Amino acid sequence: MSGQMRSTTVHVSESALDTIRAAATLSHPLETGGILVGVHTSRYPWVTHAVEFATVERGHTAYRLPAGVTRRAVRRLRDLDPRVGYLGDWHSHPMDVPASATDRLTTVTTAVRTMQPTLLLIARRVEDQYAIDLHLARGVRLRTCAIIPTGDLPVPSTENEHTHG
């Protein structure tokens, strides 16, 4: 019997990737960041939204998510689509450097505290554009993920959406 390994593939909407790259480009040479919102399917996380948060606590090598913004932003997006929830954090690195030890520790700590898989996305500057690195923490284990660019989450259908005529 072969052991089943959980997927380290994550679907990310192209609109979320565009939001991250645009925010990182506009913020350069300072870091910026925010949260990743989406759904957990039966096989993989699906990031549907990237939300950026402005903060004074940022610099060339640091970004701190402002206190209290995560829950409000998730609640606002859930008002639009109750299927979505918090999946993780993202921020930019204006230089070509990977996730730091602090980045990795913060993500693992969140995954352990919430008992939920937690994503860490780093947009790192490579020449004149931003490359995307994605990691998934399950408990104390952090893995690098393959990104599958996707469209947005389909609008849920309801049984009452039909016409009579």
Q: Give CA–CA dist 51/72, Å, rounded.
A: 11
What's the average model confidence in pLDDT over 123-140?
96
Q: What's the confidence (pLDDT) of residue 4?
A: 38
- The tens digit of pLDDT for each residue in 42-56 reads 889 999 999 999 999
State the pTM of this model.
0.89
- The tens digit of pLDDT for each residue in 74-101 reads 999 999 999 999 999 999 999 999 999 9
Which class is 9-150 in CATH?
alpha beta
Tokens 């480009």 appear where?
A: 25
* In the chain, domain spans: 9-150
The mean pLDDT of the chain is 90
pLDDT at 5 over 80: no
pLDDT at 29 over 50: yes
Q: What's the confidence (pLDDT) of residue 154?
A: 84
Q: What's the confidence (pLDDT) of residue 157?
A: 66
Q: What's the confidence (pLDDT) of residue 155?
A: 80
What's the average model confidence in pLDDT over 112-124?
96
Tokens 């913004």 appear where?
A: 69
Q: What's the confidence (pLDDT) of residue 3?
A: 38
